[in-house]
Amino acid sequence: MSHIPAPQSDDGPPDPLHVAIIMDGNGRWARSRGLARTEGHRKGAEAVRATVTGAVRLGVSHLTLFGFSSENWRRPIEEVSTLMGLLRVYLRRDMNELEREGIRLRVIGERDRFSADILRLIEEAERRTGANTRLNLTIALNYGGRAEIVRAARHLAEAVQSGHLSPDSIDEAQVCAALYAPDMPDPDVLIRTSGEQRISNFLLWQIAYAELVFVDAPWPEFGEAHLAAALDEFRARDRRFGAVSG
């Protein structure tokens, strides 16, 4: 991730733009080339770096990547081990660059299944980049959308039981405040690679009004050009949020 020049604009700061991506197709990309699935994940890690760089160039303010779902623990031990190893490499190798380039990194999801060294790397990255504002990069790890909503409901129930919250006061804002990243704006566009057309339990609450863009390219081939094309498609749509268009 070399130095990224800031996008040029004479119109003042742009509106926040949140892009969420389901990174799909690593295994199929590898299989089509006669490679092990783990090689697809290694190539996919390179696509993450290219996409982060592209997001900054294209003026994206928030980028959320589905890195590892709570269901992914069911995969073969070798594959899970490779994914954890790549996570370690990314956090160690790119920490200084994220800090230097003004990119804030944070992780959402349940952290109880990660090893102590990975937890330390995550916490260090979040601490060192916490004040950065150029790009808010969120990686969902051991994450499930339903589990996040259940977790929020449990927190609200506990607040009611303790007398700190009235059931009648629970509204969408209260639920949002109990999510993993309550300050994160809802995604404007959700991209899924590799031609699959489903959301796979990702950001179920947050994508209520997101535009869905499905890209045929597998994740290891994804980069700035694909992101730019997806954003062009998004901007060409008429977003009505339930209202009638004029």
162 annotated as belonging to a binding site for a ligand: no
N residues, the chain: 246
C-alpha–C-alpha distance, residues 166 and 147, integer Å: 23
195 annotated as belonging to a binding site for a ligand: no
C-alpha–C-alpha distance, residues 187 and 17, integer Å: 8
32 annotated as belonging to a binding site for a ligand: no
24 annotated as belonging to a binding site for a ligand: yes
73 annotated as belonging to a binding site for a ligand: yes
Could you list the beta-strand ranges (E) of the chain.
Answer: 18-22, 62-69, 103-108, 135-143, 189-192, 211-214
Residue 34: Cβ-neighbour burial (10 angstroms; 0-12, 13-18, 19+): exposed
| 3-state DSSP assignment of residue 174 | helix
211 annotated as belonging to a binding site for a ligand: yes
26 annotated as belonging to a binding site for a ligand: yes
Identify whether 72 is a catalytic site residue.
yes
C-alpha–C-alpha distance, residues 213 and 237, integer Å: 11
SS3 content of the chain, % helix, strand, coil (to 5): 45, 15, 40
155 annotated as belonging to a binding site for a ligand: no
Selecting among 10, 72, 136, 232, the annotated active-site residue is 72
CA atoms within 13 A on the CB side of 94: 25
Identify whether 24 is a catalytic site residue.
yes
Selecting among 10, 15, 24, 132, the annotated active-site residue is 24
198 annotated as belonging to a binding site for a ligand: yes
245 annotated as belonging to a binding site for a ligand: no
Which residue type occupies 59? G
192 annotated as belonging to a binding site for a ligand: yes
25 annotated as belonging to a binding site for a ligand: yes
Which residue ranges make up the annotated binding site for substrate? Answer: 25-29, 37, 41, 69-71, 73, 75, 192, 198-200
Which residue ranges make up the annotated binding site for Mg(2+)? Answer: 24, 211
Q: Which residues are catalytic?
A: 24, 72
